[in-house]
Chains A and B, each alone.
Chain A
Amino acid sequence: KQEVTQIPAALSVPEGENLVLNCSFTDSAIYNLQWFRQDPGKGLTSLLLIQSSQREQTSGRLNASLDKSSGRSTLYIAASQPGDSATYLCAVKTFSGNQFYFGTGTSLTVIP
């Protein structure tokens, strides 16, 4: 079974700092990896989707990378803002089964 781990579980940074969130997975046979943002009491908002054939995806201040062979993905957030405060989840879709496997998330707090 695919296991997805996100480290750290919580992160607090001052505004303006660049930061990296980490996601690791045990089965490298994946179709894609998706990063989500979840605000307290809210649903999941898709941030970036990386196909298995891609190395990275960018959207604004966000950049996600994928290294299938090592089972890792990183989400880079540039020039962090208080509005970036949320929980960030990564999820992978493997060849077997028909579901996403989720990590438990990194709770990010950006201090003004």
Chain B
Amino acid sequence: NAGVTQTPKFQVLKTGQSMTLQCAQDMNHEYMSWYRQDPGMGLRLIHYSVGAGITDQGEVPNGYNVSRSTTEDFPLRLLSAAPSQTSVYFCASSPGTGLRNTEAFFGQGTRLTVV
């Protein structure tokens, strides 16, 4: 029962570096999303996808790119890391093409520090 798997669990980047956070789910869910969690602000949506080949922006998309080539994988790319992107990143998935009446499942998170 892997569920939603995120890698890496921890990462330290230098300002200006790029990297990709990986997210994979084995539940055949159509909907996947990325959130960031910052102290005192709750989780905020970065990008989401309602199926392979379809992505859209969330509340805080600047500085991040996504793609969805398969149902299982939804990587998040940081183009040029900035200290403001220091956060904990969560990937989530849900059956169906939206979160309307279905339960969301979250990964264990990636703790990113940009120095």
A interface residue numbers (CB < 8 A to B): 4, 31-32, 34, 36, 41-46, 49, 51-52, 89, 91, 93, 98-105
Residue of A36, A43, A93 ringed by the most chain B CB atoms within 10 A:
A43
Q: Which of B63-71, B79-87, B99-107 contacts A (4 or more CB under 8 A)?
A: B99-107
Of all chain B residues, which has the CB nearest A6? B42
Q: Are A102's CB and B43's CB within 8 A? A: yes
CB pair A43 B99 closer than 8 Å: no
Known contacts being A104-B41, A104-B42, is A49 close to B100, with CB within 8 Å?
no
The one of B98, B103, B106 in contact with A49, judged by C-beta atoms closer than 8 angstroms, is B103
A93 CA to B41 CA, complexed, in Å: 17
Q: Interface 1/0s, chain B 91-114, versus A by CB < 8 A?
A: 010000011110111111101000
How far is A51 from B103 in the complex, measured between Cα atoms in Å?
10
- Name A's interface SS: strand
Please determine whether A44 and B90 come into contact, CB atoms closer than 8 angstroms. yes
User: Is B40 interfacial (CB-CB < 8 Å)?
Assistant: yes
Decide if B74 is an interface residue (CB 8 Å cutoff): no
Q: Are B103 and A42 closer than 8 Å at their CB atoms?
A: no
Q: How far is the CA of A101 from the CA of B104 in the complex (A)?
A: 12
CA distance A97 to B48 in the complex (A): 11
- A18 → B minimal CB distance (Å): 26
A46 vs B98: C-alpha distance when bound (angstroms): 17
Chain B residue at minimal CB-CB distance from A3: B42
Report yes or no: A46 in contact with B103, Cβ–Cβ below 8 A: yes
Please tell me if the beta carbons of A34 and B43 are within 8 angstroms of each other in the complex.
no
- Interchain CB contact (< 8 A) of A102 among B4, B31, B42, B50: B42
Please report which residues of chain B, range 47-83, place their CB below 8 angstroms from some CB of chain A when the two chains form the complex: 48, 50, 56, 58-59
